[in-house]
């Protein structure tokens, strides 16, 4: 299963990174889209994430590891077709196809990792996957940089899409499963005892949307970062994350989710305030890198659920959690955009406030885990 998830994670990363790297230039230079169109497409891209809970119904008829493989193939198909539909409706269509593949793979990846690797191993595995993704992002960026000098967009999209399709086809013919695992529920699971997990998941999605939507824009809008400078930051981020992500996983194993997530949220309060008040170009660049680093701490939310959740609730709960995480993607960009018009600092202060609330909520993690363990002991007795 580790080999299966490693190769499919790399394939998913290759496909999504290729799509994302080429998207803006392809949209402007080939499709001739305006900012409004880009905003609509980016909103459409989040819809499959919002519908991730529907993956539960796929598990009724298809085994989860096969859904994972089919998701990678769907992602590859969406990327491969992108260059053949150089129009606004065409780009919406291929984006939806690509996004369904990407988001459903992420859902099954999280679920399978928590099912197949125990509580003392899964944080390290998640960290390794983040590390592989960082390395993939760097390599894909370098390849595209060279490929654009000799190939057109259609050809580049097709090559990357077919590569991802091939890995997905390989995965579809694999059987990495074990028969001794607890069978997963094939229905939606909402439990009161999982409410802290749901809350932390929602808040993580909301904070991430503030970063994705407004942080990079701030770098360009206020500090006039060039595309070359943004690219350098991107490479630095991925190099750091390649080495740091496994260490974050080990830190969760050693210190526990509460301490690691507390460090993340307390640091993010300062990062968001820094975004709102920074006047130095170098300082804002450091904040951007720190923001990326602390984002990787969020794997602690998933491993926290592994400690409180029933073994047969993992798959449906990961699907529900993914949907909760993406609720904010529908709301935050629009509300934040309106707030930006009043004062660009408002979204970042809002992010600092959400980080503070998350920090407070995180202090209940250890007691929640102890309560879950006591509940399991009582059931056994």
Q: What is the pLDDT of residue 376?
A: 67
CB 69 within 8 A of CB 171: yes
Q: What is the pLDDT of residue 210?
A: 85
CA distance 300 to 313: 18
The CA-atom distances, in angstroms, between 291 and each of 96, 185, 196, 318 are: 28, 36, 23, 24
CB 274 within 8 A of CB 75: no
Shortest CA distance to 4 belongs to which of 144, 152, 105? 105
3 state SS of 185: coil
Q: What is the pLDDT of residue 135?
A: 93
CA distance 89 to 37: 10
Number of Cβ within 10 Å of residue 182's Cβ equals 11
Domains in the chain and their CATH numbers? 1-171 (1.20.1250.20), 185-381 (1.20.1250.20)
CA distance 305 to 155: 42
Tens digit of pLDDT at every position of the chain (381 positions):
999 999 999 999 999 999 988 887 888 788 887 766 776 787 788 888 888 888 888 888 899 999 999 999 999 999 999 999 999 999 999 999 999 999 999 999 999 999 999 988 999 999 999 999 999 988 988 888 888 888 999 999 999 999 999 999 999 999 998 887 877 777 778 888 899 999 999 999 888 888 877 887 788 788 888 756 877 888 888 899 999 999 999 999 999 999 999 999 999 999 999 999 999 999 999 999 999 899 889 999 999 999 999 888 998 888 888 888 888 776 777 677 788 888 989 989 999 999 999 999 999 999 999 988 887 655 654
Q: What is the pLDDT of residue 381?
A: 46
3 state SS of 180: coil
Output b/e per residue, 53-81; b: 16+ Cβ within 10 A: bebbebbeeeebbbbbbbbbbbbbbbbbb
Shortest CA distance to 349 belongs to which of 361, 336, 338, 358? 336
Shortest CA distance to 215 belongs to which of 274, 273, 275? 275
Q: What is the pLDDT of residue 338?
A: 80
pTM of the predicted structure, to 2 decimals:
0.86
CA distance 234 to 243: 15
Q: What is the pLDDT of residue 45?
A: 83
CA distance 99 to 95: 6
């Amino acid at each position: 299963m580790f080999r299966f998830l490693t190769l499919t994670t790399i394939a998913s990363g290759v496909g999504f990174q290729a799509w994302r790297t080429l998207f803006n230039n392809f949209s402007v230079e080939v499709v001739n889209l305006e900012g409004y169109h880009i905003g609509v497409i980016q909103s459409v891209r989040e819809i499959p994430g919002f519908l991730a809970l529907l993956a539960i119904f796929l598990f009724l008829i298809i085994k989860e590891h096969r859904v994972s493989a089919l998701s990678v193939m769907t992602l590859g198909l969406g990327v491969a077709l992108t260059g053949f539909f150089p129009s606004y409706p065409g780009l919406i269509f291929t984006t939806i196809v690509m996004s369904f593949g990407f988001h459903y793979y992420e859902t099954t990846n999280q679920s399978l990792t928590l099912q197949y690797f125990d509580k003392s191993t899964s944080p390290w595995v998640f960290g390794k996957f983040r590390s592989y993704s960082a390395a993939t992002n760097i390599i894909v960026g370098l390849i595209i940089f060279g490929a654009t000098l000799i190939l057109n967009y259609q050809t580049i999209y097709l090559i990357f899409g077919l590569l991802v399709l091939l890995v997905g086809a390989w995965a579809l013919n694999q059987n990495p499963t074990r028969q001794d695992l607890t069978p997963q529920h094939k229905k939606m699971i909402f439990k009161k005892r999982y409410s802290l997990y749901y809350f932390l998941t929602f808040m993580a999605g909301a904070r991430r949307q503030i970063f994705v939507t407004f942080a990079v824009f701030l770098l360009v809008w206020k500090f006039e970062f060039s595309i070359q400078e943004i690219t350098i930051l991107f490479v630095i981020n991925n190099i750091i994350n390649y080495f740091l992500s496994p260490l974050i996983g080990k830190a969760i194993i050693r210190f526990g989710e509460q301490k690691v997530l507390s460090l993340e949220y307390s640091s993010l309060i300062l990062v968001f305030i820094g975004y709102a008040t920074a006047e130095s170009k170098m300082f804002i660049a450091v904040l951007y890198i720190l923001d990326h680093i602390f984002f990787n701490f969020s794997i602690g939310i998933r491993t926290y659920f592994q400690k409180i959740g029933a073994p047969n609730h993992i798959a449906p709960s990961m699907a529900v959690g993914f949907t909760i995480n993406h609720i904010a993607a529908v709301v935050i960009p629009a509300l934040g955009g309106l707030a930006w018009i009043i004062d660009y600092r408002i979204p970042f202060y809002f992010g600092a406030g959400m980080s503070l609330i998350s920090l407070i909520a995180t202090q209940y993690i250890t007691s929640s885990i102890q309560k879950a363990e006591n509940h399991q002991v009582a059931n056994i007795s």
